[in-house]
């Protein structure tokens, strides 16, 4: 875990992308106030983040922003017991609905499960400890846009979902040209999407490019400039286009994902998550709604199969 200074007032706490849950966080401290953007997936990782931030802030922040509802961005909220938690209304409404700490801990304990998909998933959670987590839901919500004043420094919170999730927001600090993009930007890391559409996600990336920040703090992966948003856009456009060819030929999403040449994107972490993006394209080609329920077990099972397939190809 690394603390990166972006400007005198703006920092990022980056976790090396070693797979699921390795998210990033941000800190804005100006004058006498500070605000944290996103907490981590468990209490010990969030505590480590706080220890890094303590070297630069004047005291515990009175505001925490959650860019969206996934646990790797909000499970550590309880360590900021006195802070307001700010998120979009859609993010707040989804709190505690799909990702619940106790269920995650149960999953983590199933490394010897007969079901290979569950056992593999449990193994991927080895670095995380979901015990003791009490969800702390947002206390301040907004619909489209909210300006937050950090002792004279403005942070603009912009709802851009449903892209990666329904409640996605980005945090723009115009004065210093920094955007905390949450999981609207995955950098050198294969994106995963839950509720949302290609169109809205691409629009969200265009919005980021249009705001022209000098630095983007992605939800996962290293810091970047707008080239990070552009490259992710190209990935989506390419995957959607390739998916259409396979869809029109009546080929299943999993077989399509096995066939698609992911070119240099193979170097991104977790390339097998391609299936998430092919599945999303297929849902849209079928005309399914943006929030159609996702069969997570079936999807992870396919991702597992695709991983084995990609591994064999590379051997």
d(CA 166, CA 179): 19
CB of 93 to Zn ion, least distance (A): 19
Q: Does 196 engage in binding with Zn ion (CB under 5 A)?
A: no
d(CA 37, CA 31): 17
* Binding segment (CB under 5 A) for Zn ion, from list 114-122, 146-154, 177-185, 250-258: 177-185
CB of 250 to Zn ion, least distance (A): 34
CB of 72 to Zn ion, least distance (A): 4
* Binding segment (CB under 5 A) for Zn ion, from list 72-80, 119-127, 280-288, 297-305: 72-80
Q: Give the 3-state secondary structure of residue 224.
A: strand
Q: According to CB under 5 A, which residues from 97 to 156 bind Zn ion?
A: none
Could you tell me which of 250, 242, 237 has the C-alpha nearest to residue 286?
Answer: 250
* Binding segment (CB under 5 A) for Zn ion, from list 29-37, 39-47, 205-213, 219-227: 219-227
List all residues 6 or more positions away from 135 whose beta carbon is below 8 Å from its beta carbon: 74, 75, 77, 78, 95, 96, 100, 101
Candidates 191, 196, 219, 221; binder of Zn ion (CB under 5 A) is 219
* Binding segment (CB under 5 A) for Zn ion, from list 9-17, 67-75, 145-153, 300-308: 67-75
Candidates 183, 195, 270, 279; binder of Zn ion (CB under 5 A) is 183
Candidates 15, 23, 25, 46; binder of Zn ion (CB under 5 A) is 23
**Judged by CB, which is closer to Zn ion: 33, or 164?**
164
- Reported for 270-275, long-range contacts at CB under 8 A and 24+ positions apart, including other chains, are 270/19, 270/20, 270/189, 270/190, 271/190, 271/310, 272/190, 272/303, 272/304, 272/306, 272/307, 272/310, 273/190, 273/191, 273/192, 273/303, 274/190, 274/239, 274/306, 275/299, 275/302, 275/303, 275/306
Whether 173 contacts 95, CB under 8 Å? no
Q: Does 72 engage in binding with Zn ion (CB under 5 A)?
A: yes
**Judged by CB, which is closer to Zn ion: 29, or 74?**
74
**Judged by CB, which is closer to Zn ion: 235, or 247?**
235
* Binding segment (CB under 5 A) for Zn ion, from list 21-29, 103-111, 197-205, 241-249: 21-29
For 178, the enclosing helix (H) or strand (E) is strand 178-186
Task: Please report, as ranges, the residues that interact with Zn ion according to CB under 5 A.
Answer: 23, 70, 72, 183, 219
């Amino acid at each position: 875990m690394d603390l990166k200074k972006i400007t005198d007032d703006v920092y990022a706490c980056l976790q090396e992308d070693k797979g699921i849950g390795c998210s990033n966080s941000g800190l804005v401290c100006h004058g006498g106030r500070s605000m944290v953007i996103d907490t981590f997936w468990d209490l010990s990782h969030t505590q480590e983040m706080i220890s890094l931030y303590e070297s630069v802030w004047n005291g515990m922040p009175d505001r925490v922003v959650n860019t969206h509802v996934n646990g790797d961005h909000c499970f550590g909220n309880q360590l900021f017991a006195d802070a307001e938690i700010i998120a979009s209304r859609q993010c707040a409404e989804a709190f505690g609905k799909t990702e619940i700490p106790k269920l995650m801990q149960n999953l983590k304990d199933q490394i010897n499960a007969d079901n290979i998909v569950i056992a593999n998933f449990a193994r991927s959670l080895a670095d995380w400890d979901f015990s003791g987590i009490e969800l702390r839901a947002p206390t301040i919500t907004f619909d489209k846009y909210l300006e937050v004043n950090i002792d004279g420094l403005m942070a603009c919170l912009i709802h851009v979902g449903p892209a990666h999730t329904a409640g996605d927001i980005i945090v723009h600090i115009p004065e210093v040209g920094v955007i905390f993009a949450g999981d609207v930007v995955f950098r050198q890391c294969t994106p995963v999407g839950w509720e949302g559409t290609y169109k809205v996600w691409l629009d969200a990336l265009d919005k980021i490019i249009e705001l022209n920040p000098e630095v983007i703090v992605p939800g996962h992966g290293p810091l970047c400039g707008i080239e990070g948003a552009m490259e992710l856009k190209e990935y989506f456009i390419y995957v959607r286009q390739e998916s259409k060819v396979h869809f029109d030929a009546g080929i299943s999403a999993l077989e399509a994902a096995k066939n698609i040449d992911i070119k240099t994107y193979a170097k991104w972490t977790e390339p097998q998550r391609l299936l998430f993006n092919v599945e999303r394209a297929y849902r849209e080609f079928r005309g399914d709604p943006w929030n159609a329920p996702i069969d997570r077990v079936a999807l992870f099972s396919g991702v597992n199969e695709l991983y084995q397939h990609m591994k064999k190809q590379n051997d």
